[in-house]
Structure 1
């Protein structure tokens, strides 16, 4: 995720900001521009906003409303074009079911999940995988259901026929850490969950409907093996067999080819998002011991002409070393607790090439991939 600047005064901003601390401007993220912008009310039209004028630039000509999840719950900072009849922004309208908001803890859980989901939306939009202005004021991309456990009824996080379900308990830090430890996972975050589950959704769109199942099987294995039995065997064995690092990005990726794909997909989204963040800070990288002339600027993977996979990987390795070194300096665990083998990199390249060469007009197909209860 890149950093933003207030386009009225130049103050650095973060994606979730709703007000500039320097000039006091109200802020909103404009999905049609993929930009966090200073906004001002439109005179005589209640509840309508436009981009605020700045020195050398007139006020924006397009009018917006704030997402109704902002006006009603202060839970969103996305704007909606004023001529769009849908009261929800393009991210919030993807959410079909909310947890019971009369339960106090669920409001905070919902807010945290939506923050992560908006970050996922941004990355998918930057990759051209989700529409920022869906036709007919509808939604594009996966549909989300955020549910809480009920007595005798446990919610499973997973994907089925275009719908991603997330157990809202994952928004509780203590619960998420407990599950991470119990399942021997080095990494478990809300954003990581959503990226993983979006991989199942895009398997349907890009692999199944794109006619790429043969290529997929050659790279990841045959997904037609029984999914439930494969996951049961994985958990019964206590996780992955020794040596899994030689072919997979994570231990869980060994459980089934679908999960190998979803873990690799999530990893690719980690990669492009972190590289964009580093690029927005004008980060320059070199491994310890390299000559001064080998130092180079981190590229923005979304800029035209920079999406060469080999170059992304060349910068990814020292960037993650830097990230982990910074974390260790603060006494924290590694933020990126992975090491990518040659085979794992081939799978990441597969994802990269598929996104870069995808055909237009893919449609969602039905395929259920619900994760085991422990996940």
Structure 2
């Protein structure tokens, strides 16, 4: 039985470090929800923006961060039959103000629709690599507002020619890029062209062409067009700011209407003047990688996550582990994101039994690449 209060890390003031409290209320599950004892919580770059700029949380302080959450089910809300107490599950919390679902607390509530059981042979850490970094490309590739490629489990998939489709993935060295390649391959897309990242890793996921990311936008676009010609209709950008998003836009066909999905939605500004003319125009889609914002697509995906893991259609990415709900080390990771340092995905073992402790300094020094073999090159 869960206690009434718990340890939590809170944002109490925008622009200030997180603080540790020991008397935060333990939430209770409602219909269609479960209460979990959090085992793994993983911060991402948007958590730094939340702490420092108020992204998603400005009007709901104090707030708890992290949307990569894994834990052990301890209580079921009404109507829940999918899980039993003791099951270990991974899920993506919502982004609604005042959410009680986020990971930097000992107990959290999750909506069953956006969770999956950790299958035999996989660890809680494997599961924690998924939520934020796979839902963003899932929405980019398969939502009607972005690339609008039919998800492979939908009726529309039966008539879509995946084999003769080409997709461009920009940012193959990022986790959202890696999972974008995996999802494109899972769907059966025949030609997956990737800019950046480790060639052997990305080809193991199903990429067909890897392009060097170094060079001017025009040079990189020319490399892409040497492969795709003037026929590219789908481009997904996992990392670029507006000044280099034009690489993907200019790679799209000039005679057919293509689609460009991006994770960074800033206005193109002056970069827009560098976009080459397109007879039929193009669709620019901004991605909000939230299961709750795209429930139909994401619920169907979460239902399939265990089988995709077992069948190796989805492969967890690399991470390092920090033992405990350590507020100082959490703030160090968020500071590293803020300062533009290379950060290996970091998992905080909120429940510390059998956890392995690594010094947080491992995140910042390239010589420890054995924790993340496939960093951007």
Name the structure, 1 or 2, with higher relative contact order (CA <8 Å, separation 6+): 2
Asked if Structure 1 and Structure 2 have the same fold, meaning a TM-score greater than 0.5 normalized by the shorter chain, the answer is no
- Which is strand-richer, 1 or 2? 2
- Which is helix-richer, 1 or 2? 1
TM superposition score normalised by structure 1: 0.30
